[in-house]
Structure 1
Amino acid sequence: MPPWLSVTILVVLGAALLLGMAKGWRRLRRGPDAVPAPPAVPADDALGEARTGPLDATYVSTTRSGDWLDRVGSHGLGVRSAATVAVHEAGVVVRRRGAPDVFVPRAALRAVGTSGGMAGKVVGGEGLVVLTWVPSPDDDPRGLDTGLRLRHRQEADELRAATQTLIGSTPAAGGSKESS
């Protein structure tokens, strides 16, 4: 086979692959299963007392609750990015670099736990902190799981403990999952 033909075939295959990936991301963002937009991050004075300082983390992704491979692409929730996460009286704030920030209000939190993997990242052991929350019970009562990989193990434990205190002091709507 002549070299120019091999190169042409590889370029066509590469273009087809990129086109397919772009089509998949568009489907995730606009599909019938799109989730409602998460609430905007309130002003700093409306967040209340900080229960943790900003902790360095990697925002892995957000998936449908209970399905660690069903990544949510709408509203930038499927974009992996460097982040800082802090727990306040009003909820959990994830400030991301290069992607929209995520705010999980206290009333929306259902559980906090750990996982060894999530769409976009698999780690050894239980290295991801997973926040389970419901943006709007009317739209999707199943909820969402947001995965965070903290830089230090003790910070992951601190994040889990602070989030669990928010959940524990929030009246349960329906039934709440216990943290794992």
Structure 2
Amino acid sequence: MTGRVLAVVLLVVALVVVFALMRRGWLARQRRQGDLPAPHRSGDLGASIAAADGMYVVTTTAGDWLDRVAVHGLGVRTAAALSVHPGGVLISRRGADDVVIPAADLESVTTTSGMAGKFVERDGLLVLTWRLGPRRVDTGFRVRHAGEQAALIEALLTLPGVRRREAPRGVPDTEPVSGPDRGATTTDPTDPTTETRGPSA
């Protein structure tokens, strides 16, 4: 076996081991989160107050934006639309189940620059804090057109009990990188909002 072939074999083995460990960690996370019920998928929410297209980013443990929720498809990033209604929030996801957050479960709204592998410009992500069964969780959404985010926040604040809050301390402005580009905002080529994001719809 030549050195080149051996190197390829070792690389393939290393990749298999890495993916196996990642899968094992994901399954372990799902087991730990087994007490979380599935979110509502539908409901009578009333007429839309405000809506925007964009991306469902992730749902995490409230206050810990690196602790991704792995169950019920809540850890899967998808293109989506978010609409605010008198009865709550509807997140219509492409290729995944919709998420309905009843108004009674909503607590607050804030903005940030990053959650669980998605880092954008300052205040580029809209974050909803809400109760899912026994836990409080944060759900991130990135609007396609930046000007629509303020309208969503304004609509959310009309719902009973929903307040605006400051982002927790310690949240990085960008994803850490090394070298001369350290501190620059990273671009995700799979993000449908990257090229089309503008000041208004």
**Which of the five TM-score ranges fits, normalised by the shorter chain?**
0.7 to 0.9
Match of 1:73 in 2: 70
* Structure 1 residue 33, shift from structure 2 partner: 6.2
Map Cα deviations across residues 16-69 of structure 1 (whole Å, 9 max, x no partner): 111111112212222256522112212xxx22121014x111111001111111
Query: After the TM superposition, which residues 82-161 of structure 1 pair with which residues of structure 2 at under 5 Å, given as runs?
Result: 82-136=79-133, 139-140=134-135, 143-161=136-154
Partners of 1:110 and 1:32 in 2: CA distance: 21
Corresponding residue for residue 47 of structure 1:
45
Aligned length: 165
Q: Distance in 1 between matches of 2:95 and 2:64?
A: 26
Contact 2:90 2:99 in 1 (8 A): yes
Q: 1:110 offset after TM fit, Å?
A: 0.2
* In structure 2, distance between residues paired with 1:5 and 1:31: 39
Task: Assess if the C-alpha contact under 8 Å between 2:110 and 2:128 holds in 1.
Answer: yes
Instruction: Supply the distance in 1 between the matched residues of 2:3 and 2:131 (Cα, whole angstroms).
Output: 57
CA distance 1:34–1:118, change in 2 (3 Å): farther
Superposed counterparts of 1:159-178, under 5 Å = 159-166=152-159, 169-170=160-161, 178=164
Question: What do residues 107-164 of structure 1 show as CA deviations (whole Å, max 9, x unaligned)?
Answer: 000001101111120111110000000122xx22xx1000001011111111111111
User: How big is the shift at 1:76?
Assistant: 0.6
Which blocks of at least 5 consecutive residues in structure 1 are unaligned? 171-175
- CA distance 1:23–1:100, change in 2 (3 Å): same
What SS is found at the alignment partner of 1:134? strand
Q: Distance in 2 between matches of 1:113 and 1:165?
A: 14
SS at match of 1:104: strand
Identity percentage over the alignment?
44
More helix by share: 1
| Two-structure CA RMSD over aligned residues (Å) | 1.6
Normalised to the residue count of structure 1, the TM-score between the two structures is: 0.85
Structure 2 gaps of 5+ residues are 167-201
State the TM-score, normalized to the length of structure 2: 0.77
Query: Does structure 2 retain, via aligned residues, the 8 Å contact 1:34–1:72?
Result: no
